[in-house]
C-alpha cells in the first residue's frame, strides 16, 4: 500500500470496524516510536466509539507531553488488505492535525515492512 511523505511524517490510512459499523480513516501517521496504535476519538465518533466505565484508561508520555486515552476492543482493523480481528486499540483526543498513530503493536503483528525508497507499507510473507 502506498504511503505519503508529508510534513516530515509518513501517512497511511486504515479502516476500523466496531459493532458492525465501519469507518475509513485517513491521515494516520506511521510511528515506529509508538508502542501502541492510537486513534483520534473524533475520527470514530460517528461509529459510537466512546469511553465507557468498562474501558481501561491510560496515560501516554511522549515528545508532545502527557496524553490520556481509553482502550477499547474493536471488531477489526484493516490496513492495506491486512485484517486483524478482535484487537484492543487506544483512543484519545489529538491536539494535532492527524487522526492517529499506527504503532508497533499493529506493525509487528501484521509483519509490516516500511519501504522508504518506494514509499510503501508492505507485509512480509
pLDDT given for residue 109 in this prediction:
92
Q: What is the pLDDT of residue 52?
A: 78
**Phi, psi angles (nearest 5°) of residue 62:** -155, -165
The grid coordinates of residue 66 equal: 502527557
Per residue in 14-73, pLDDT tens? 999 999 999 999 999 999 998 889 999 999 999 989 877 887 777 766 656 677 788 899
Among 1.10.8.60, 2.30.30.30, 2.40.70.10, 3.40.50.300, name the CATH number for the domain at 4-123: 2.40.70.10
Quote the CA–CA distance of 120 and 125 in Å, as a whole number. 15
Instruction: Give the confidence band of 90 by pLDDT, cuts at 50, 70, 90.
Output: very high
Q: Which of 86, 111, 94, 98 is nearest to 4 (CA)?
A: 98
> Rounded mean pLDDT of the chain?
90
What distance in Å separates the CA atoms of residue 114 and residue 123, rounded to the nearest whole number? Answer: 9
Domain ranges (residues) in the chain = 4-123
Q: Higher-confidence residue: 68 or 12?
A: 12
Q: Nearest 5 degrees, angle CA 58-CA 37-CA 80?
A: 160
Q: What is the C-alpha to C-alpha distance for residues 51 and 62, in angstroms, rounded to an integer? A: 22
Predicted pLDDT at 125: 74
Q: Which letter does DSSP use for residue 45 in this model? A: G
Amino acid at each position: 500500500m502506498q504511503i505519503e511523505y508529508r510534513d516530515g511524517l509518513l501517512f497511511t490510512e486504515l479502516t476500523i470496524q466496531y459493532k458492525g459499523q465501519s469507518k475509513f480513516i485517513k491521515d494516520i501517521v506511521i510511528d515506529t516510536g509508538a508502542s501502541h496504535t492510537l486513534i483520534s476519538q473524533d475520527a470514530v465518533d460517528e461509529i459510537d466509539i466512546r469511553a465507557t466505565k468498562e474501558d481501561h484508561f491510560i496515560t501516554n508520555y511522549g515528545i508532545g507531553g502527557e496524553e490520556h486515552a481509553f482502550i477499547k476492543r474493536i471488531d477489526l482493523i484493516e490496513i492495506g488488505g491486512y485484517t486483524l480481528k478482535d484487537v484492543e486499540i487506544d483512543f484519545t483526543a489529538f491536539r494535532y492535525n492527524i487522526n492517529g498513530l499506527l504503532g508497533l503493536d499493529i506493525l509487528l503483528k501484521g509483519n509490516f515492512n516500511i519501504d522508504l525508497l518506494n514509499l510503501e507499507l508492505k507485509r512480509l510473507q
